[in-house]
Amino acid sequence: MNSMAYFRIKGQQKLSGEISVTGAKNAALKFIAAALICDEPVTLTNMPNIEDVRRMLKLIATLGAEVTHDVDAHTVTIDPRPMSNFEITEDMAKSIRASIMLVGPLLVRFGKACIGYPGGCVIGRRPIDLYLKGYQRFGAEMKIMGDTFEFVSSNLHGMKFVFPIVSVVATETFLITASRAEGITILKNAAVEPEIIALAEFLNACGAKITGAGTPTITIEGVKALRGGTVAIIPDRIEAGTFVILGALTRSQIRVTNCIPEHLENILLHLEMIGASFEVGDTWIETKSYDHNLRALNIKTHEYPGFVTDLQAPFTVLLTQAVGSSLVHETIFEGRMFYTDLLNRMGAEIILCDPHRAIVEGPHELMGRKLESPDIRAGIAMVLAGLIAHGETIIGNIEQIDRGYEQIDTRLRALGADIIRVTDI
Ligand code: EPZ
């Protein structure tokens, strides 16, 4: 990745046209992990060409899986049978946090797994205590050597796990591991995100016995083998929501296609409440131009089907353009609001009351500035802000944005945005 690359944006362009949503990053990574507990090759279609997917595929290839990635066809075939390595180094673990999911499949295949601490990222500490507890509950012995966790298990058995807090990837991790653990596993207070339902449907199509996915109680009966199969990754609801917010922000007519509007119902409800105009189809959402003021609105993030935390930063850019005071309450992560300082540098008026709460006064015109992208979602929020700001915005550290949004500059240019990717010579 070119670390000196940056986006140069000239704001205030009217946008229009159509933008197609890619497969969901937060489904793709889990389907890659799930492929490793199958006993035949798995083909994943509608795979997004993003950095996090490339990192996860590189990781499983290092473990010995055979990976065939047809980038142009957005298709990946994974054959887990040649896997021979059960060690995930600290560097590999740090390159992609979802690597923590792979301990389950490694225990299923080898009865052994080693992993370096995946580390946090800027949105918070990102602890892994639930994973360590869960793997031990499945019957693995755990040894900690410095920052490396070593797991050994003669045979994985079913268990009951009551989540003290809702955890999306931990729910998916235990769903996958339980599918090959002997006996019954019951997960309580499980996450209910759409990606979890899609994952359970895929595993059941391969012969797993999962019931209750999409509800807080999931029951899994382990099976001795799983077939392979082919499955399309569901559309990325976060990307879809980002583009709908972009349409509202630029007061443009943008048709967001190949999405599942039902998966972003709560965002659409908040867009309606703030006064944005849009129409909803079966697989598309079209924002409309409008000239009335946006109304201030309080938002509070919550696990699905609540207001999704991954769209908190993009939506806050919209709140800087609304008339009045809005309270933004980020309930899930403790480090996901520091980007508000960047918006203030652009001319917004945001008071960060504590790591979880900010008050946004609006409306304020934004001025182009030189910024760094803190993380995936705050990074795309800076792009949105740059697209409505007066003058030129430079955004560095764009590999963060490339982790979650495929060719985002090319796709936004197709809507009429004046954004170019500059790589150092
Ligand atoms: C998933 O992360 C998503 N990532 C995140 O999207 C998303 O923001 C998050 O769910 C919440 O919806 C993927 O799916 C790859 P959590 P996850 O476990 O599962 C605490 C993006 O931008 N926790 O649901 O890692 C944790 O600190 C990313 O695409 C523990 O305490 O998040 C947080 O406060 C960012 N111990 C809370 O749970 C643990 O062992 C919920 O986090 C694990 C988590």
What is the per-residue pLDDT across 291-321, written as a single tens digit (0 to 9) for each? 999 999 999 999 999 999 999 999 999 999 9
Q: Are 161 and 134 in contact (CB under 8 A)?
A: yes
Angle at 338 between CA 268 and CA 310, to 5 degrees: 30
Nearest to 229 by CA among 79, 110, 54, 373: 79
In short, whether 309's Cβ falls inside 6 Å of ligand 1 is: yes
- Which atom of ligand 1 sits closest to the CA of residue 126? 27
pLDDT of residue 125: 76
Q: Which residues, including other chains, have CB under 8 Å from residue 224's CB and lie 6 or more apart?
A: 180
The residue whose CB lies within 8 Å of the most ligand 1 atoms, and thus the one to mutate among 102, 169, 377, is: 169
Q: Which residues, including other chains, have CB under 8 Å from residue 262's CB and lie 6 or more apart?
A: none
Q: Using CA positions, which residue lies closest to atom 4 of ligand 1?
A: 26
Centre of ligand 1 from the C-alpha of residue 89, in Å: 21
φ, ψ of residue 9 in degrees (nearest 5): -120, 135
Centre of ligand 1 from the C-alpha of residue 123, in Å: 10
Six-digit token string for 129: 């205590």
Cα–Cα distance between 183 and 160 in angstroms, integer? 11
Over residues 101-119, the mean pLDDT reads 95
3-state class (DSSP) for residue 296 = coil
Mean per-residue pLDDT of the chain: 96
Nearest to 285 by CA among 260, 313, 315: 260
Residue 66 pairs with which residues in a beta bridge?
79
Centre of ligand 1 from the C-alpha of residue 306, in Å: 15
| Residue 5 pLDDT exceeds 70 | yes
Q: Which residues, including other chains, have CB under 8 Å from residue 332's CB and lie 6 or more apart?
A: 301, 302, 303, 309
pLDDT tier at 425, thresholds 50, 70, 90: low
| Residue 3 pLDDT exceeds 90 | no
pLDDT of residue 2: 58
pLDDT of residue 330: 98
Q: Are 297 and 322 in contact (CB under 8 A)?
A: yes
Q: Are 256 and 238 in contact (CB under 8 A)?
A: no
- Which atom of ligand 1 sits closest to the CA of residue 169? 19
- Which atom of ligand 1 sits closest to the CA of residue 132? 40
Angle at 80 between CA 74 and CA 84, to 5 degrees: 130
| Residue 1 pLDDT exceeds 70 | no
Give me the catalytic one of 38, 121, 206, 259.
121
| Residue 364 pLDDT exceeds 60 | yes
Q: Using CA positions, which residue lies closest to atom 30 of ligand 1?
A: 127
In short, whether 200's Cβ falls inside 6 Å of ligand 1 is: no
In short, whether 369's Cβ falls inside 6 Å of ligand 1 is: no
In short, whether 24's Cβ falls inside 6 Å of ligand 1 is: no
- State what percent of residues in the chain have pLDDT above 70: 98
Q: Using CA positions, which residue lies closest to atom 25 of ligand 1?
A: 169
Over residues 45-63, the mean pLDDT reads 97
In short, whether 385's Cβ falls inside 6 Å of ligand 1 is: no
From the CB of residue 262, how many other CB atoms can be counted at a distance below 10 Å? Answer: 12
What is the per-residue pLDDT across 118-169, written as a single tens digit (0 to 9) for each? 876 677 777 999 999 999 999 999 999 988 999 999 999 999 999 999 999 9
Please report, to the nearest 10 degrees, the dihedral formed by the alpha carbons of residues 345, 347, 350, 352 taken in order: 10
pLDDT of residue 118: 87
User: Quick one: angle between helices 237-249 and 25-35, nearest 10?
Assistant: 170
Q: Are 408 and 242 in contact (CB under 8 A)?
A: no
Q: Which residues, including other chains, have CB under 8 Å from residue 245's CB and lie 6 or more apart?
A: 267, 271, 311, 314, 315, 317, 318, 384
Active site residue 121: yes
Centre of ligand 1 from the C-alpha of residue 196, in Å: 13
pLDDT tier at 177, thresholds 50, 70, 90: very high
Domains along the sequence of the chain with CATH: 5-22+235-423 (3.65.10.10), 25-232 (3.65.10.10)
Six-digit token string for 277: 């105009």
Transcribe 228-271 into DSSP letters: -EEEEPPB-HHHHHHHHHHHHHTT-EEEEES--GGGGHHHHHHH
Q: Using CA positions, which residue lies closest to atom 5 of ligand 1?
A: 310
The residue whose CB lies within 8 Å of the most ligand 1 atoms, and thus the one to mutate among 26, 30, 128, is: 26
Nearest to 34 by CA among 108, 120, 142, 133: 108
Q: Which residues, including other chains, have CB under 8 Å from residue 391's CB and lie 6 or more apart?
A: 10, 11, 367, 368
Q: Using CA positions, which residue lies closest to atom 15 of ligand 1?
A: 26
Over residues 271-286, the mean pLDDT reads 98
pLDDT of residue 45: 98
What is the per-residue pLDDT across 216-256, written as a single tens digit (0 to 9) for each? 999 999 999 999 999 999 999 999 999 999 999 999 999 99
Q: What is the pairing mode between strands 42-45 and 66-70?
A: unpaired
Over residues 54-83, the mean pLDDT reads 98
How far, CA to CA in Å, does 153 sit from each of 43, 142, 159, 269? Answer: 29, 9, 14, 47
Over residues 171-181, the mean pLDDT reads 98
